[in-house]
Amino acid sequence: MSSYHQILYHIVFRTKDSLKTLNLKNSEELYKYIWGIVKGKNCVLYRINGMEDHIHILSDLHPSIALADYVRDLKTASSIWIKTSGKFQNFNGWADGYAAFTYAYRDKETITNYIKNQREHHLTISFEEELRKLLIEHEIEINEKYFP
């Protein structure tokens, strides 16, 4: 019998000190680079988008990869690319940690649209408010030391 899996993660991570260092005009190139990393790990990227201070990723995680290793590798490789590309002059790294939420495959379209509409979404809500809302929605205890 073959092995079957479907591990859908909504992953969110922010820039160091939540600084707005990811200029949006070059973000598509960054997202394509991250897509290449995801693909190289035999994972599937359904959607990536973000703002100047954070990124959202909806990805199916291959069962041979631990979530913490996956996020660490995404952040490490993208950080190196960002710093050497010259397209994000003020970027000084990713913040420690990340948020990851699991979803059923039937929720994929809803989460894809949520990530796709980040720019409109953040006209009315800050990243901190968004993250708090996601943590509460998933019944994850909030550690105030990570919020300004």
Give residue 33's identity as a one-letter amino acid code: Y
User: In the predicted model, what is the mean pLDDT of residues 8-30?
Assistant: 95
Name the 3-class secondary structure at 94.
Answer: strand
> Which secondary structure element, helix H or strand E, spans residue 11, and what is its range?
strand 8-14
**Mean pLDDT throughout 79-108?**
95
- What digits encode the pLDDT tens for the residues 27-66? 999 999 999 999 999 999 999 999 999 999 999 999 899 9
Looking at the domain covering 8-146, what would its CATH class be?
A: alpha beta
pLDDT averaged over every residue in the chain = 93
Render 37-75 in DSSP notation, one character per residue: HHHHTT-EEEEEEEETTEEEEEEEPPTTS-HHHHHHHHH
Percent of the chain with pLDDT over 70: 98
Q: What is the pLDDT of residue 5?
A: 78
Which residue in the block uniquely carries the two structure tokens 């796709």? 116
From edge to edge, which strands make up the β-sheet containing 99-103? 44-51, 54-60, 8-14, 99-103
This prediction's pTM? 0.92
Burial letters for 90-113: b for 16+ Cβ neighbours within 10 Å, e otherwise?
ebeebbeebbbbeeeeeebeebee
Q: Which residue has the higher pLDDT, 98 or 4?
A: 98
